[in-house]
Structure 1
Amino acid sequence: MTSTLPHTVLGDGPTTVVFAHGFTQTRTSWMPVAQRLIAHTSAVRCVLVDLPGHGQSHDVEADVAATARLLVATGRSAHYIGYSLGARAVLQAMVQHPDVVKSVVSLSGTAGIEDSTERNDRRNADEERARHLLEIGVEAFVDEWLAQPLFADLPRAQAQVSERQTNTALGLASSLRLCGQGATTPMWDSLAHCTTPVLAMAGTRDTKFVALARRIAALSTTGRLALIADAGHSAHLEQPDAVAQEIGYWIANPTEYNTPITS
């Protein structure tokens, strides 16, 4: 297996910020936010990675734990920002490598499915989805993926469809099988013992993940919450200015960002 992940670096500031994308995306999905973050503060060095099964990492096979190791090998001591699939990866990185993860921003993330039956059902569903993907190909699969109610708030013009369709069927199928929620060990118990600052973020229209963000923030000893107005599940694409602004405030001083979430 490769020792680091293919990545793009923007900015040359002293503070490294690593960005991990969601399923079917690539490193470029975070470009609008990273560019705005650099405009907000020149003190950052943004590292945008291609997660296993995606982009130039299409042939890298790794579960969430291995993905977390690759992330920290690439970014080293840094703030880690993740969306959806990427959020699970950066939360896992925090649990595994608290010595190098300065803070985490989890956007539209979860710490896993706790119920073993539900988790097994999700694993089976992801396997069926992977087989379906291999049958119909990436282009049709991406169209189906974005047609889900989860992405109802994401205009097609902002969905980066053509970039998603540069992924390979084998790579995305591998990601579903190895890094899907059904294949991921829940991290809720671990979060309660982590002292690394965590910012749980969600779009206000994404009610399921607002609830999950509140839980992550409340469970983490240094947890904070940020809700992005007028955004759904893909807040970084729908409202990149607001997301970049919150990240900028956060990395400037995580311990003084907003107020702790206690309920």
Structure 2
Amino acid sequence: MPTVATVAKPTLVFIHGFLGSPDDWLEVVAALDDRYACLLLTIPERNQQGQALRDWAALIAACEHQWTALLPERFTLIGYSLGGRIAQALSQIWLGRLEALILQGAHPGLGSDLERSQRRRQDRQWSNCFRSEPLETALQRWYRQSVFARLSEQQRADLIQARTRALLDSERMADLLLAASLAGQPDYWAALAQLPVPLLYINGAQDLKFCALAERLAKHRPSLERHQLPDTGHNCHHQTPKPYAALLAQFLTQVPYD
């Protein structure tokens, strides 16, 4: 279980994506932990009573409940995909303790009822896939989505092997996918535009969907720091961990620490 750092270093708090684990950040952290205290969180799959999370609000409440006591007084939040969406929510709850926010491939929110309806239907289909198919089959399908198209065959195989080895519970993943659906997430565009701490948005240069989202976010927030890692897709911290860590280190030199 992660513990609060006791050394006098700025703290970086990492939140993984859907199907991921804290281990996803290890190569990034290895390049940073001489200068920063790194705290790796695990997204909860159940509430305090051990029940499936009902919706987005229940997911954020579970994260806040499980993580608040682990955190130091001040920290930087770093989140990938679902982890980034969670970080957006928690940045509002923990605003007085936040030094900076770093998002990787994280969606600030859908803008229309039609988009939400389409995403809800899509996530229900994926949830049914995880409930009805063997885990490895579901993972093969998941990592063949267009958003992961830039993974090499070896990178895709490594991710599937890691998820299979982690003995993920398919039912829990199906439940979490529905609770965490982008269809039920609030709109964080305005909150990010007004966030009073430094904000960095990272995506792979080949991840065209999130390139467009980053460009749109920059119009809402002209001070946004943006960076596209070349020759990478959605999962760029996995594809190029050392350049990713170097990018974080460069950005963090601009963060004022109390």
TM-score range for the pair, normalised by the shorter chain length: 0.7 to 0.9
- Relative distance call for 1:204 and 1:97 in structure 2 (3 A) is same
Match of residue 32 from structure 2: 37
Between the aligned partners of 1:7 and 1:155, the Cα distance in structure 2 is: 32
CA RMSD of aligned residues (A): 2.5
Between the aligned partners of 1:21 and 1:132, the Cα distance in structure 2 is: 22
Q: What amino acid sits opposite 1:36 in the alignment?
A: A
Please state how far the C-alpha of 1:10 moved relative to its aligned partner. Answer: 8.8
Match of residue 23 from structure 1: 18
Match of residue 106 from structure 2: 109
Match of residue 50 from structure 1: 42
- Relative distance call for 1:37 and 1:109 in structure 2 (3 A) is same
Please state how far the C-alpha of 1:99 moved relative to its aligned partner. Answer: 0.8
Between the aligned partners of 2:8 and 2:51, the Cα distance in structure 1 is: 31
- Relative distance call for 1:231 and 1:137 in structure 2 (3 A) is same
Contact 1:200 1:225 in 2 (8 A): yes
Please state how far the C-alpha of 1:72 moved relative to its aligned partner. Answer: 4.4
Match of residue 135 from structure 1: 132
Map 1:63-212; keep pairs closer than 5 Å. Answer: 63=56, 64-66=59-61, 69=64, 70-76=66-72, 77-159=74-156, 160-165=159-164, 166=166, 167-212=168-213
Q: Secondary structure at the match of 1:114?
A: coil
Q: TM-score, normalised by structure 2?
A: 0.85
Match of residue 232 from structure 1: 233
Gaps of at least 5 residues in structure 2 are none
Gaps of at least 5 residues in structure 1 are 1-5, 256-263
Please state how far the C-alpha of 1:253 moved relative to its aligned partner. Answer: 1.8
Contact 1:199 1:217 in 2 (8 A): no
Q: Secondary structure at the match of 1:79?
A: strand
Please state how far the C-alpha of 1:154 moved relative to its aligned partner. Answer: 1.3
Q: Secondary structure at the match of 2:201?
A: strand
Q: Secondary structure at the match of 2:190?
A: helix
Please state how far the C-alpha of 1:83 moved relative to its aligned partner. Answer: 0.6
Between the aligned partners of 2:143 and 2:51, the Cα distance in structure 1 is: 23
Q: Secondary structure at the match of 1:186?
A: coil
Q: Equivalent pairs: percent with the same residue?
A: 24
Please state how far the C-alpha of 1:189 moved relative to its aligned partner. Answer: 2.1
- Relative distance call for 1:68 and 1:91 in structure 2 (3 A) is farther
Q: What amino acid sits opposite 1:49 in the alignment?
A: L
What count of residue pairs does the alignment treat as equivalent?
244
- Relative distance call for 1:13 and 1:226 in structure 2 (3 A) is farther
Q: What amino acid sits opposite 2:25 in the alignment?
A: W
Please state how far the C-alpha of 1:219 moved relative to its aligned partner. Answer: 2.2
- Relative distance call for 1:20 and 1:125 in structure 2 (3 A) is same
Instruction: Decide which moves more: 59-68 or 176-185.
Output: 59-68
Q: Secondary structure at the match of 2:96?
A: coil
CA deviations 1:194-234 (Å, max 9, x no partner) are 21211011111111101112223442364211111111111
Between the aligned partners of 2:196 and 2:250, the Cα distance in structure 1 is: 19
Q: What amino acid sits opposite 1:232 in the alignment?
A: G
